[in-house]
Amino acid sequence: MDQVVGFSSAGSRTRAPRTIVVLGATGSIGQSTAEILCAAPEAFKVAAIAGGRDALALAAMAKRLGASFAAIADPKGYAALKEALSGTGIKAAAGPEAVIEAALHPSDIVMGAIAGTAGVEPTFAALEAGRTIALANKECLVCAGSAFMSQAALSGTRLLPVDSEHNAIFQALGDADPASIEMMTLTASGGPFRTWTREAIAAATPEQALAHPNWAMGPKVTIDSAGLMNKGLEIIEAHYLFGIEAERLDVLVHAQSIVHGLVSFADGSVTAGLAAPDMKVPIAHCLSYPERMKTAARRLDLAAIGQLTFERPDYDRFPALRVALAALKTGQGLPTIMNAANEVFVDAFIKKLISFHDIARLVEEACEAALADGTAQEPATIGEALALNHFVRERALAAL
């Protein structure tokens, strides 16, 4: 039976506190992580945290978690962070190098939750140092999957998937032989546009795209989810995490967001991971792995839900998913290129510079241009991945 983290009825601790570093502490995953940590102060100790631009929120989080070190990526936030932490004994630092310093603090597990490509370098630094990574940043694997998985093997450590879909599959897999797997299926809620026509989706506003029916997420991932690009990125992530080729990876639209992932085996059996749509569930699983801990997450009541529905994704209405799957099947660095271009064009959509369907069209054009001019070479190292990412971003910005 799995051991439960916390105190026994006699009041003795079941194990020593686990030391945690939280990268991306002020984002949605970081805030959910903080709820888990604060609910079990006897089980966890926070060594360091890092955030992006919000110095006051980062300082408040550092004090709430009792961290010893707080790093803000934006150097302009240093003065505000230092002032807010004055007298607390918590060290403040700023800049990308400070975020890496946070990542390298001695710890048992690093929560890698910095949004976008900005999370690649600090998360990889922690992996190189032999830290176990609770991975909530899918761009790490989409942008530099080969480098990350090679380093994990070299360091003898592991990446624990925080995304609800990958976490569900991770739990459903157990110790199964990969050769026995016929199909891995990730589910998608369908987002706010699940029942919209193609024409209505094309005319959607950023405000409409940000109104996700099931999940509270940051703006970039929410926009990705609305167009199913997020599911395409997750398919690429699953390819690297589980070593499964594209032909054995599938997507189902599941509006209730109860079944998060399924594994179909050669004997005809299917194992599924189910939970209420609450990121605290996979976060708690990763932070306490291989044990289990109690959480206040909403319990699943299937009788109350009554019905679970599934449907195939519509690649005509949601072309971004088709583009992402094609990038994985083609390879040659296209996942890195697609991810970089997508970040630029999602930002342009949020700023109302392009339409919603322009995102997928322009991302596809960026991939085609890279194939045509020979820049679509798979990066073997983090440096190569970030260099390719920078080149594609510059070219994408010039296309606006």
Kindly report, residue by residue over 18-74, the tens digit of the pLDDT. Answer: 999 999 999 999 999 999 999 999 999 999 999 999 999 999 999 999 999 999 999
Distance set, CA 105 to CA 35, 121, 131, 170 (Å): 21, 15, 10, 27
Structure-token pair, residue 343:
């970040």
pLDDT tens column, 195-209? 999 999 999 999 999
- Average pLDDT of the chain to the nearest whole number: 93
Give the whole-angstrom CA distance, residue 114 versus residue 136. Answer: 8
3-state secondary structure 106-155: CCCEEEECCCCHHHHHHHHHHHHCCCEEEECCCHHHHHHHHHHHHHHHHH
pLDDT at site 215: 76
pLDDT at site 14: 58
Residues in Cβ contact with 355 at an 8 Å cutoff, skipping those fewer than 6 apart: 202, 203, 349
pLDDT at site 11: 35
Mean predicted confidence (pLDDT) in 131-136: 97
In this structure, the strands spanning 109-112 and 132-135 are parallel
pLDDT tens column, 335-390? 999 999 999 999 999 999 999 999 999 999 999 999 999 999 999 999 999 999 99
Structure-token pair, residue 96:
């990308």
Task: List domains and CATH numbers for the chain.
Answer: 4-164 (3.40.50.720), 166-277+298-399 (1.10.1740.10)
Mean predicted confidence (pLDDT) in 154-163: 94
Structure-token pair, residue 301:
């009541």
Q: Which residue has the higher pLDDT, 138 or 253?
A: 253
pLDDT tens column, 261-313? 999 999 999 999 999 999 999 999 999 999 999 998 889 999 999 999 999 99
